[in-house]
Amino acid sequence: MKVFINGKFVDKEDAKVSVFDHGLLYGDGVFEGIRLYSRCVFKLHEHLERLEQSAKAILLDLPMTREQLTEAVIESCRVNELTDGYLRLVITRGPGHLGLTPDGCGPAGVIIIADNIQLYPKEMYESGLKIITVATRRINSAALPPAVKSLNYLNNILAKIEAKKVGFQEALMLNDKGEVAECTGDNVFVIKKGQLYTPPLDAGSLRGITREVVIDIAHELGVPFSEQALTRYDLWNADECFLTGTAAEVIPCVEVDHREVGSGVPGDLTKSFISHFRQKVSVDGVLI
């Protein structure tokens, strides 16, 4: 495997960053996870736009233009002869001093890893996932906007560990008002009486690219959609529930906090969202 690092493709073993890089020392940087489906880099422009916005929010100047990043992503797929896979695009603040200030850090690092990913076993897309609410709250947006896809994922990692310790693959995270924010790496949707709901971004959710695709599908299918603050109760009493994310795609959720969602099996509308999503992935992006 060849990794793109600061303008060059090098062997995996030689892809190294400085121990003084603030990306390593402080999680100071931003990233994107992107999928390649049948030679199509799904929603590449949208991912790069979000990367630019995350970088702007943390006052990090991207060292490459949108066009250069697009080329580097495409080249990473080609060099690794991938037709399907997962791309991790990482921007670090760059090497600096041991203090917190980014002054004097640089140049910013650009890393692209082109690999594969299988977050959940295939059967789970048929049978559905079970999730549990954890005590770790989603970070307050006044502390760090959850819309920033930063290299500092400890909040989500702690929630994931909590869920795993009690035998669940994914955790439901609430915000500090006790409303549903999102899962550790996925957005949450529910269906109730034929209507689709997801928490608004200010509940502490990332503006997921897959979330946006699902909202588009809702419009195409004529399923009424609204962003609405949701509580755990709303999830327990939903007819259907599913999670969305680049790695997870669209996955049914059939149990929340030991309560079956609907009849405890993936619902018909969820299945319809999954099949429409799969139709889009190899056409709605940039071909390599």
Binding segment for ligand PMP (CB under 6 A), chosen from 8-16, 55-63, 66-74, 184-192, is: 184-192
Q: Is 156 in the site for ligand PMP (CB under 6 A)?
A: yes
| Phi, psi for residue 16 in degrees, rounded to 5 | -130, 150
Query: Of 85 and 208, which has the nearer Cβ to ligand PMP?
Result: 208
Binding segment for ligand PMP (CB under 6 A), chosen from 51-59, 201-209, 254-262, 270-278, is: 201-209
The residue count for binding ligand PMP (CB under 6 A) is 15
Of the residues 182, 234, 240, 255, which one makes contact with ligand PMP according to CB under 6 A: 182
Interface positions, 226-245, toward ligand PMP (CB under 6 A): 244-245
Q: Is 206 in the site for ligand PMP (CB under 6 A)?
A: yes
Given 2, 43, 130, 149, the catalytic residue? 149
What DSSP assignment string belongs to 126-195? HH-EEEEE-SSPPPPTTTS-TTS-BS--HHHHHHHHHHHHTT-SEEEEE-TTS-EEEESSSEEEEEETTE
Q: Is 208 in the site for ligand PMP (CB under 6 A)?
A: yes
Helix, strand or coil, per DSSP, at residue 273: helix
Going by C-alpha positions, the residue among 25, 188, 31 that lies closest to residue 111 is 31
Q: Is 155 in the site for ligand PMP (CB under 6 A)?
A: no
CA torsion sign for 232, 234, 238, 242 is negative
Q: Is 185 in the site for ligand PMP (CB under 6 A)?
A: yes
Interface positions, 79-138, toward ligand PMP (CB under 6 A): none
Whether 148 and 30 have beta carbons less than 8 Å apart is answered as yes
Of the residues 22, 93, 160, 211, which one makes contact with ligand PMP according to CB under 6 A: 211
Residues near 200 by beta carbon (within 8 Å), at least 6 away in sequence: 227, 228, 229
- Cα–Cα distance measured from residue 24 to residue 30, given in angstroms and rounded to the nearest whole number: 12
Binding segment for ligand PMP (CB under 6 A), chosen from 71-79, 94-102, 105-113, 185-193, is: 185-193
The residue type of 228 is Q
Q: Is 151 in the site for ligand PMP (CB under 6 A)?
A: no
Rg over CA atoms, the chain: 19
Q: Is 162 in the site for ligand PMP (CB under 6 A)?
A: no
Q: Is 48 in the site for ligand PMP (CB under 6 A)?
A: no
Q: Is 149 one of the catalytic residues?
A: yes
| DSSP 8-state symbol, 204 | T
**CA dist list (Å): 198 to 135, 168, 235, 258:** 21, 22, 10, 21
Q: Is 160 in the site for ligand PMP (CB under 6 A)?
A: no
Judged by the rule CB under 6 A, the positions of this chain that interact with ligand PMP are 33, 156, 182, 185-187, 206, 208-211, 244-247
Catalytic residue ranges: 149
